[in-house]
């Protein structure tokens, strides 16, 4: 059995929307696109690959990735705005202790991948710039909002928008009522309702009793507000209130 020096990347998939807390705050939670339009594209891609020489295409993709990795040089990356980033990172929840290193590593990784477009300091280290943070902010705001801040996954946010069209703020509803309007599976609807409740988008008005399902109502919060309020990542405008040139060559 072979050995591989770390660090490594570990990927795991699941069909449930709620992940055990001890696992959730150790990884980035990414969701797939559940919309019928995306399912159609997947099916069409499968049909297309059946006609084309899929093996040759896979080899071509692998060769590109290998070439990219061979072109990268080992280097140390420094994030000159790391201290300010740490000061502005939301530390309300203890999970931030794991989330901040993840965010900082993402910035460094993006900078390393763009090493030929980045400046180096007097010690030869690659200097991460604002562009690197902008990409990290785009990639991490959603996953970190969900894993440590109670934000919504993209599928749950889309369900939230549909739900707001089904019921009024003052109207009570049950999961049974909503499943009758949704083409999604019963399990998906149940998972999304749990997400909305955790994020504060809906609240329970009556507990589940016997054959009678729990009743809910909207709180008036929007999906965008739920994610914005829960994001631990400072905005680009907040972090870079002055020119990034002032960070240059900082030890």
What residue ranges of the chain are covered by domains with CATH 1.10.10.10? 154-230
Question: Who has greater pLDDT, 25 or 161?
Answer: 161
Does pLDDT of 48 surpass 90?
no
With beta carbons less than 8 A apart as the criterion, state whether 103 and 233 touch. Answer: yes
Question: pTM of the predicted model, to two decimals?
Answer: 0.73
**Using one digit for the tens of pLDDT, what is the confidence trace for 143-163?**
888 777 667 888 888 999 999
Per-residue model confidence (pLDDT) at position 14: 82
**Using one digit for the tens of pLDDT, what is the confidence trace for 194-244?**
888 888 889 999 998 888 889 999 998 887 776 665 678 899 999 997 544
Mean per-residue pLDDT, 45-72: 84
Per-residue model confidence (pLDDT) at position 251: 44
What is the spatial distance between Cα 114 and Cα 176, in angstroms, rounded to a whole number?
50
Per-residue model confidence (pLDDT) at position 83: 96
Does pLDDT of 250 surpass 90?
no
What is the spatial distance between Cα 216 and Cα 204, in angstroms, rounded to a whole number?
4
Sign of the C-alpha dihedral, residues 17, 18, 22, 28? Answer: positive
Cβ neighbour number for residue 107 with a 10 Å cutoff: 23
Q: In what order do the strands lie in the sheet with 173-174?
A: 173-174, 215-218, 202-206
Average pLDDT of the residues of the chain = 85
**Among 218, 224, 180, which residue's Cα sits nearest to residue 197?**
218
Per-residue model confidence (pLDDT) at position 17: 64
Contact residues for 137 (Cβ-Cβ < 8 A; gap 6+): 233, 235, 236
What is the spatial distance between Cα 246 and Cα 240, in angstroms, rounded to a whole number?
10
Per-residue model confidence (pLDDT) at position 55: 77
Instruction: State whether CATH 3.40.50.1400 applies to domain 154-230.
Output: no
Q: Which of 29-33, 82-86, 237-241 has the lowest mean pLDDT?
A: 29-33
Per-residue model confidence (pLDDT) at position 85: 96
Per-residue model confidence (pLDDT) at position 163: 93
Sign of the C-alpha dihedral, residues 235, 237, 241, 242? Answer: positive
């Amino acid at each position: 059995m072979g050995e591989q020096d770390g660090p490594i990347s570990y990927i795991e998939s699941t069909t449930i929307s709620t992940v055990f807390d001890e696992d959730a705050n150790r990884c980035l939670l990414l969701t797939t696109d559940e919309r019928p339009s995306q399912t159609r594209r997947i099916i069409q891609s499968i049909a297309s690959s059946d006609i084309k020489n899929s093996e040759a295409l896979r080899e071509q993709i692998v060769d590109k990735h290998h070439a990219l990795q061979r072109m990268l040089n080992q280097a140390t990356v420094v994030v000159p705005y790391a201290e300010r980033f740490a000061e502005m990172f939301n530390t309300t929840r203890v999970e931030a202790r794991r989330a901040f290193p993840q965010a900082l590593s993402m910035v460094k990784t993006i900078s390393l991948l763009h090493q030929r477009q980045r400046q180096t300091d007097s010690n030869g280290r690659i200097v991460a710039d604002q562009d690197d943070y902008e990409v990290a902010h785009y990639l991490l705001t959603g996953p970190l909002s969900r894993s440590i801040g109670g934000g919504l996954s993209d599928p749950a946010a889309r369900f939230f928008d549909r739900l707001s069209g089904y019921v009024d703020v003052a109207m009570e509803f049950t999961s049974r009522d909503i499943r009758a309007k949704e083409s999604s599976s019963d399990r998906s609807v149940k998972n999304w309702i749990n997400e909305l409740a955790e994020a504060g988008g809906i609240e329970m008005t009556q507990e589940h009793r016997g054959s009678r399902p729990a009743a809910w109502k909207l709180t008036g919060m929007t999906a965008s507000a739920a994610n914005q309020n829960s994001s631990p990542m400072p905005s680009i405008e907040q972090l870079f209130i002055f020119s990034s040139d002032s960070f240059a060559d900082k030890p």
